[in-house]
Amino acid sequence: MVNFEIKGVEGLSDFERQEINSILEKGYEKIKRKTKIDFVLEVVVKVHAKGDVNRKKKHFSIKASVSKTVRDFEATSDGWDLHKAMHQALEALETEAEHIFRASEQHS
């Protein structure tokens, strides 16, 4: 079961929403393999655009966090490309999960 929450998608197109859902489903599974426990993946997407939000050039800020685990952690990313910004945030969460859960396995 994929367990994630997305906030801030009001200013996004349907295509961008589908892209976020697809990336999050894959990212959730990757992090789950590293943590080996259930967690909630929370993502906040902010769109920075002057004037019309539907214009071509948008700047995205992503804040992704993992909660309801032994230790909560988060990562942020931003950029002009939504796909790349989402991947950067999720890769940072994966790295953090590796550090946290590898260290806890070594001390067990």
What are the structural domains of the chain? 4-106 (3.30.160.100)
Residue linked to tokens 């197109």: 13
**Residue 17 CA to chain centroid, in angstroms?**
13
Q: Let me know: does 13 contact 21? Beta carbons within 8 Å.
A: no
Q: d(Cα 68, Cα 47) in Å, to the nearest integer?
A: 27
The pLDDT assigned to 50 comes to 64
- Confirm if 24 and 4 have CB atoms less than 8 A apart: yes
For residues 66 and 47, give the distance between their C-alpha atoms in angstroms, rounded to a whole number: 21
- All residue ranges of the chain with pLDDT < 50 are none
Please give the pLDDT value at position 44.
Answer: 95
Determine the Cα–Cα distance for residues 46 and 96; give it in Å rounded to an integer: 22
What pLDDT, on the 0 to 100 scale, is given for residue 54? 61
pLDDT tens by residue, 75-89: 999 999 999 999 999
pLDDT at position 82: 92
Q: What is the pTM of this model?
A: 0.83
